[in-house]
Amino acid sequence: MRPNKRDELIRRALDLFYGNGFHATGMDLVAAETGVSKTSIYKHFRSKEELILAVLRLRDEDFRSWLYGRLEARADTPRGQLEALFDVLEEWFGQPGFQGCMFIKASAEYQSPEDPINVQSAEHKRLLQEHFARLAAEAGAREPDALARQLMVLKEGAIVLAALTHGSAPARDARTAAAALIEQAIA
């Protein structure tokens, strides 16, 4: 399998895992849906877990790139980007096929703190929180790390509720709470 075929396999597996879950998606289904034989898959990934890790790395890169780009498109100041977070999440929640966060799903299916899949999921959240803390510091927050943690709680809660309710109202509710936190932290 050429490198671009490998990348295509990872991208197509991402859709399968996102739509069906990790444990429910067997390698037979991955092979059938991607058109790549199991033998070829296992030449590049020693296990299903290695494929899942590659999928999570791709999703992390794609999601953070999309999120940061959308924040920058909506606001040109760090505070404005923090304030726009829940508007951008509302966009995501309204996209066809939205089924929640792949990293929340992965950590729920691979719960051991030492499991590489759980570790990769936690790293995604850490990188997001680090970005929000950097924006908060640039915006002049007195305690940027605390504000970033609070925004993460709102963000993660909104994602879970949006997936459960199949609607975008949680983004609007979280936006109201976030506005109060940002005003208090930066004013």
**Nearest-angstrom CA–CA distance, 168 and 95:** 10
Q: Domain tally for the chain?
A: 1
56-108 per-position pLDDT tens digit? 999 999 999 999 999 999 999 999 999 999 999 999 999 999 999 999 999 99
Read off the DSSP letter of residue 167.
Answer: S
Evaluate whether residue 32 is within a structural domain: no
- Average pLDDT estimate for 166-170: 96
Evaluate whether residue 10 is within a structural domain: no
125-144 per-position pLDDT tens digit? 999 999 999 999 999 999 99
Evaluate whether residue 15 is within a structural domain: no
- 29-65: string of b/e by CB count within 10 Å (b at 16+)? ebbeebebeeebbeebbeebeebbbbbbeebbeebee
CATH number for the domain that contains residue 91 = 1.10.357.10
Evaluate whether residue 36 is within a structural domain: no
Evaluate whether residue 39 is within a structural domain: no
Q: Return all residues near 70 (Cβ < 8 A) that are at least 6 apart.
A: 84, 88, 91
Evaluate whether residue 47 is within a structural domain: no
**Nearest-angstrom CA–CA distance, 117 and 35:** 25
What's the confidence (pLDDT) of residue 3?
55
% of the chain beyond a pLDDT of 70: 98
Evaluate whether residue 4 is within a structural domain: no
Evaluate whether residue 99 is within a structural domain: yes
> By residue range, what is the domain housing residue 97?
56-186
What's the confidence (pLDDT) of residue 1?
47
